Amino acid sequence: MKILLLEDEFLLSQAIRTFLLASGHLVDHYDNGVDVLNAIEDKEHDLYILDVNTPLIGGLECLKVIAAKYPIIPKVIISAYNDIDNISNAFELGCSDYLKKPFNLKELQIRVERLTFNNLNKAEEKQNPIVQLSERYKFDNEKNILYYDDIIQTFTKREHSLLVLFISNIGQIMTDESIQSFIWDGEYVEASTIRSLVNRVRTKLKEDLLQNIRGFGYVMKKISVA
């Protein structure tokens, strides 16, 4: 996979680049936003990793341009900022995931793999609007309806929104921040409120589709269909 990395911290950029190269990816590294905007005019990448605070042009400005040019391609924002305004702004501009510095490189690898898997899923969904979640569960993307044995399943508005978020990002870890941004439009809510919403949905599901990834967030996985 071909990855574009925007990071101006030398040691961190070298660590990320070396790690991704060792994982079998090609990496184009830039330390300022001007070079990134020039680069995306000539070639497309499979994934973008952008630091927020970079020289000349910042990562969020680059994100806005990249999202407009390549809306479907995954984009990861990395930043030392952890306030809700920055996180919400990043998601509004089109980022797919948000990592707070410092982070473990293994965590970055998990996010990259999940985003790649999710992007392949979205390509499949365009060809087939029905997502088969398990032998008995299926989701109609055109109607936004979940079926169990062809019976429509009912949820509250927020529960349904959470389901749509997970089904649209199958295999990708959803952090509290991404759930908060999608469900509450960036408005701050306690982690316990998010956990309660996820638990209500898990309780209503008749199969174990939602899993808790301790320390990271939640993920929906398809159950193999015989």
Q: What is the pLDDT of residues 28-60, one digit of tens each?
A: 999 999 999 999 988 889 899 999 999 999 999
The model carries a pTM of 0.56
Average pLDDT over residues 200-210: 95
Residues 155 and 82 in one domain: no
Residues 104 and 9 in one domain: yes
Query: What whole-number distance in Å separates Cα of residue 112 and Cα of residue 120?
Result: 13
CATH number at residue 85: 3.40.50.2300
Averaged confidence pLDDT in the chain: 87
In a domain, 225, yes or no: no
3 state DSSP class of 167: helix
Do 223 and 209 meet the contact criterion of CB atoms below 8 Å apart? yes
Distance (Å, whole) CA 79 – CA 94: 15
pLDDT, one tens digit per residue, over 94-152 is 888 898 888 888 888 888 877 776 665 555 555 568 889 999 999 998 888 999 999 99
The DSSP line for 175-220 is: -HHHHHHHHSTT----HHHHHHHHHHHHHH-SS--EEEETTTEEEE
| Domain encompassing residue 197 | 128-220
